[in-house]
Amino acid sequence: MLILVRHGQTEANRHGLLLGRADPPLCGAGRDQAEALARALPRPTRLVSSPLTRAVETARAVGAEIEIDERWIEMDYGDLDGRPASALDADGWRAWRDDPTHVPAGGESVAEVGARVRSACHDLADLAADADVVVVSHVSPIKAAIAWALGVGDEVAWRMWVEDAAVCRIDTSGSAPRLRAFNDVSAHALPSLR
């Protein structure tokens, strides 16, 4: 199973800021989410993480050896990084939503994220067919991996929402990937039963 995990919350996430390549650590709630994820996730055969601190801190809680893969890094928001979504006007959002190849000033397109993530998914698919592979990443790469699993284009990214510390599961054991779970926050949304 290919298990995709969005990192725990940061202060920027809590305040609704666009968070791309900026590298803040997890906040207290994010560390709690990472610990809850560690209790809920299976011990993986392979643990892959984005190089950004918030992803590595979340992966570290899982307790396995971490392999850093740059392809799982968050989208580069360029000049918008660290700013509220309102920093981009309606025409800018329309251009970005309507054209997966649109590049915001100094940033990266949805299509570029999709290309690098599809490559990463292909590289993990065979192992994930027989073992649990956990990838700790970010909103945009996870959306790209879901698009890969569903066999759809990058334009669907804007139609998905991925919560902090959400888990998605892709079964790669068949002739085509199958989405088994999307945006599962049950590991940290409910009070502990212990």
How far lies 139's CA from each of 126, 127, 157, 173, in Å?
24, 23, 9, 24
Contact 65, 47 (CB under 8 A): yes
Q: Which residues partner with 48 through β-bridges?
A: 67, 135
Q: Is 38 helix (H, G, I), strand (E, B) or coil?
A: helix
Both structure tokens of 55: 């992803």
How far lies 146's CA from each of 140, 153, 160, in Å?
10, 10, 9
DSSP secondary structure, 105-129, as one string:
TTS--HHHHHHHHHHHHHHHHHHHH
**Is 7 marked active-site?**
yes
How does strand 46-49 pair with strand 133-137? parallel
Write down the catalytic residue from 11, 35, 74, 112. 74
Write down the catalytic residue from 7, 57, 112, 138. 7
What distance in Å separates the CA atoms of residue 194 and residue 127, rounded to the nearest whole number? Answer: 33
What distance in Å separates the CA atoms of residue 9 and residue 176, rounded to the nearest whole number? Answer: 32
**Is 122 marked active-site?**
no
- Tokens 């027989």 sit at which residue? 130
Active site residues: 7, 74
